Amino acid sequence: MKNQVVLDNRRDVPEATIRRLPVYRHYLKQLESEGVVCVSCTQIANWLSFSPIQVRKDIEFTGVEGKPKIGYELKDLIAHIENFLCFHTKNEAVLIGAGHLGYALLGYHGFKEFGLEIVAAFDNSQDKIDKFINFKKVFSIDKLEEMVSRMKIQIGILTVPASCAQALTDRMVAAGIKAIWNFAPVKINVPKDVVVQHENLASSLAVLSKKIDEQIKRDLK
Amino acid sequence: MKNQVVLDNRRDVPEATIRRLPVYRHYLKQLESEGVVCVSCTQIANWLSFSPIQVRKDIEFTGVEGKPKIGYELKDLIAHIENFLCFHTKNEAVLIGAGHLGYALLGYHGFKEFGLEIVAAFDNSQDKIDKFINFKKVFSIDKLEEMVSRMKIQIGILTVPASCAQALTDRMVAAGIKAIWNFAPVKINVPKDVVVQHENLASSLAVLSKKIDEQIKRDLK
């Protein structure tokens, strides 16, 4: 499992760092709206219950420079995090599978902030084709290849059952998709030049179940 | 950030291990349906593109015993993974916020397999109250405390906007909820005896964006 994102000429950035940076940013934006001007690692750490050392390490990857005893200028820190996370790169994506989860993602407004825009959805159900979900049109899956290559879309969001995930992955890749956000509960195989980010609700649920189990054992002591 | 789940009298289990075990199980169930009887770590590793050492380490946590040169009996391995992940503990949950994401989760059939059953949903919108989504009734949020304590529900799934996440968390905790699966894009504060599993789509999207960015840089070389 790949847990590190390799950056040219720089230290490897742990995936955990990349996952935490949006959480810091969310908190910093909140402080910004309250009129705060400067912030320290300790403040961020206390608020989020992380360790200050961890926060400092994570923030250092963005290249921002702090001032001794003061910390970081809030605006500067937010800008560095957003730049590091490529917030301002516009990325168009298509969504494959307009079921419940696809529906939820089409209605989620938080993606645009990250530069991601879902421009179209595809499905094979006649009930869904040519309908609009949150102003995005659902097209027949038959039109996938033609539209992806014509619109030069590079990102595919896969929200289909496990049974058809690989076949649709192959079709996306053949049409020119270079990155897949996979919500299907199955591993998909792609060529080396295609990036996959796997979203696994089952795994998160497993972690939750395990935590609950341990909590119950502690309570019984 | 807590990355380890502490098990009494045993080694700490890395959260990454717990996240990978459902993936192994998914693959093993597939093999089982094909009539396979034995499986080795190398086979699992090759299929999933993990390292065999990693797979062996993960599987060891479940306490299963393999046979030299043969590997594991498939049924035995699946049973150990499911037992380790507490698949057979029945957990009832309520869902707070029947928006798009809540809707998707109410319609998701994969949870039952993990022993999780969403027994009711709550919302504050008159359009949704008393409607059924996937045979689950949506109740007025005013009934949250009464129903949670009467039905002795211990798990809350939080699919509400960031702005009201903390207030609803406080209400859930006061009503007796002991574990929260938080899909709201914000940190929630809970007492020490309450478990939180945070699901952050923004963080996953950040990882994807970063991977794409690096891929593009590589291609330009």
B93 vs B91, residue with greater confidence: B93
pLDDT tens-digit series, residues A76-92: 999 999 999 888 878 89
Is residue B78 within 8 Å of B39, Cβ to Cβ?
Answer: no
Is B1 close to A54, i.e. CB distance below 8 A? yes
Please compute the mean of the pLDDT values over residues B104-117 and round it to a whole number.
Answer: 80
List, as ranges, residues 2-61 from B with C-beta within 8 Å of A.
3, 5-8, 13, 15-16, 18-23, 26-27, 47-50, 54
Query: In B61-200, where does DSSP find H-type helix?
Result: 74-84, 100-106, 144-150, 162-175
Closest CB to A85 among B21, B89, B210: B210
What are the structure tokens assigned to B67, written together? 């046979």
> What would you report as the CA-atom Rg of chain A, rounded to the nearest whole angstrom?
21
Q: What is d(CA A65, CA A165) in angstroms, rounded to the nearest whole number?
A: 44
Of the candidates A54, A89, A211, which has its C-beta nearest B209's C-beta? A89
Chain A residue at shortest CA distance from B29: A186
Interchain proximity B16–A1, CB inside 8 Å: yes
Least confident span in B132-136, B142-146, B211-215: B211-215
Query: Distance between CA B174 and CA B39 in Å, rounded?
Result: 47
Residue B62 with chain A: CB contacts under 8 Å: none
One-letter identity of residue B17: T
Do the beta carbons of residue B58 and residue B20 sit within 8 Å?
yes
Give pTM, 2 decimals.
Answer: 0.73
- Tell me the shortest Cα–Cα distance from A85 to chain B, in angstroms: 6
Pick from B101, B215, B100, B206: nearest CA to A115: B206
Q: Determine which of A24, A95, A212, A220 to mutate to test the interface with B (most B C-beta atoms within 10 Å).
A: A212
Distance CA A133, CA B162 (A): 23
CA distance A93 to A153: 6
* B157 touches B96 (CB < 8 A): yes
Residue A203 Cα, gap to closest chain B Cα (Å): 4
**Closest Cα partner for B87 from B62, B59, B107?**
B62
Q: A203-219: per-residue pLDDT in tens?
A: 788 888 888 877 777 77
The Cβ of residue A211 has, within 10 Å, a number of other Cβ atoms equal to 20
Q: Token digits for A92? A: 């168009």
CA distance B127 to A77: 42
What is the C-alpha to C-alpha distance for residues A37 and A185, in angstroms, rounded to an integer?
44
- Distance from C-alpha of B21 to C-alpha of A27, rounded to nearest angstrom: 32
Quote the ipTM score.
0.75
pLDDT score, position B7:
45
